[in-house]
Amino acid sequence: MIQSQISKAAEATPEPVARRIRGLSDRSIAWIFVAPTIFLLLAVNIYPLLRTIWLSFTNYRVNRPNNDVDWVGLRNYERILSDPDIWNTMQATAHFLFWTILIQVLIGFTLAYLINKKFKGNNLWTTIIVLPMMLSPAVVGNFWTFLYQPQIGLFNYAVGFLTGTDPASFSMIGDVNLAPWAIVIADTWMWTPFVMLICLAGLRSIPESLYEAAECDRASHWRQFWTITVPMVLPFLMLAVLFRGIENFKMFDLVVQLTGGGPGSVTELTSINLKREAFEKWRTGYSSAYAVILFVTVFGLASIYVKALNKVKQR
């Protein structure tokens, strides 16, 4: 059937075209098929990347089209790496990354472990738990600002109820010490279900026979957990960490809605800072250098991490 359709198509192909194709090697035909993709990749990924790298060595400003563009060498890189404000945003990002990933992995794995047990309403609970990650980050940021309101916010009320403190006596997003945790909590609420789902996939991929064999060997549940469950789920967990790490490194919308980078600049993550440099201050050359530094950092760390992930998988 398929063969006859191919024959029909071949017959329908105009002779000059057919002649031209007939003379092509398999390799050439393969190139014809991948060429559009490669062209798109070059146009939307590689060219902008190369252009960004070139711009990072200039003083170009996109809002001053009439100004001369001067080659400034490594000056933009020097300025960025010696700017204490930028190091502060790096520190804020590191704090956000470390704690969100740690907490999300712990809670996500625990939830997955519990959900994996067979109990009534299992599917319903799974659906309820994954709801937050289906919302838009901007919406989540917006409604967490209400939850954190000292006078009417449910979060403050709950903390007040549990600890006996006055809910109006503390402001999660207005206090320098609490604001970094406010964004960690909101992000954790939203993205823990994602980690949970990946862990759940890992848990469900473990063959039951391994546990049966362990039971035969009279291995305790604790022993089974550490020698079967954790090693088998580890590649999945590492994948979740990779995804969350990359996502949170470029976190923008949720935090902008929640704190706007404040109070002061304690929650100004690198992506927010970069956006201000590029699209508010319009320092295009400078922000290109900034973007290159961030790209190299993420790409480098991700590459090392992926290698480690492959090693774990091969074990």
Partner 1 sequence: MNKKLTYTVASFAMAAAASSAQAEELTLCWAAWDPANALTELSKDFEQQSGHKMSFEFVPWPNFADRMLNELNSGGQLCDLMIGDSQWIGGGAESGHYVKLNEFFEKNGISMDDFIPATVTGYAEWPKGTPNYYALPAFGDVVGWTYRRDWFERPELRAEFREKYGRDLEAPATLEELKDIAQFFQGRTIDGNTVYGASIYTERGSEGITMGATNALYNYGFEYQNPDNPYELEGYVNSPGAVAGLEYYKELYKTGTPPGSSNWYMSENIDAYKSGQVAMQMNFAFIWPGVHADPNVGGERSGYFPNPAGPAGQYAQLGGQGISVVAYSEKQEAALEYIRWFAQPEVQARWWELGGYSALKAVVEDPDFASSQPYAQTFLDSMAIVKDFWAEPAYAELLLAMQARLHTYVVAGSGTAKEALDGVVRDWTETFEYEGKL
Q: How far is CA 221 from CA 109, 211, 214, 313, in A?
A: 17, 9, 9, 24
Which one, 105 or 291, has the nearer CB to partner 1?
A: 291
- For the CB of residue 93, give the shortest distance to partner 1 in the complex, in Å: 17
Site string for partner 1, 280-309 (x = CB under 8 A): xxxx--------------------------
**Closest separation between CB of residue 20 and partner 1, Å?**
42
What is the distance of C-alpha 41 from the center of its chain? 21
The number of residues making up the chain comes to 315
Question: Residues 167-191, buried b or exposed e (16+ Cβ, 10 A)?
Answer: beebbbbeeeebbbbbbbbbbbbbb
Task: Confirm or reject binding of residue 259 to partner 1 (CB under 8 A).
Answer: yes
- Alpha helix stretches (DSSP H) within 43-83: 47-55, 75-81
Residue 109 amino acid letter: F
For residue 71, the SS3 value is strand
Instruction: Pick from 97, 105, 111, 173 the residue near partner 1 by CB under 8 A.
Output: 173
Question: According to CB under 8 A, which residues from 110 to 149 bind partner 1?
Answer: 145, 148-149
169 is a contact residue toward partner 1 (CB under 8 A): yes
Q: Which is nearer to partner 1, 259 or 271 (CB)?
A: 259
Query: Which segment (44-52, 169-177, 190-198, 226-234) binds partner 1 by CB under 8 A?
Result: 169-177
Residue 244 found at the interface with partner 1 (CB under 8 A): no
The answer to whether the beta carbons of residues 130 and 281 sit under 8 Å apart is no
195 burial via Cβ count (<10 Å: 0-12, 13-18, 19+) = buried
User: What is the rounded end-to-end Cα distance, in angstroms, of the chain?
Assistant: 45
Residue 200 CB, nearest distance to partner 1 (Å)?
37
Does residue number 176 form part of the binding site for partner 1 (CB under 8 A)?
yes
Cβ-contact 206, 112 below 8 angstroms: no
Nearest distance, CB of residue 42 and partner 1, angstroms: 23
Our CB check for partner 1 shows the closer of 40 and 62 to be 62
Please report whether residue 264 would count as binding partner 1 according to CB under 8 A.
yes
State the residues that interact with partner 1 by CB under 8 A.
62-66, 85, 145, 148-151, 153, 168-169, 171, 173-176, 256, 259-266, 276, 279-283
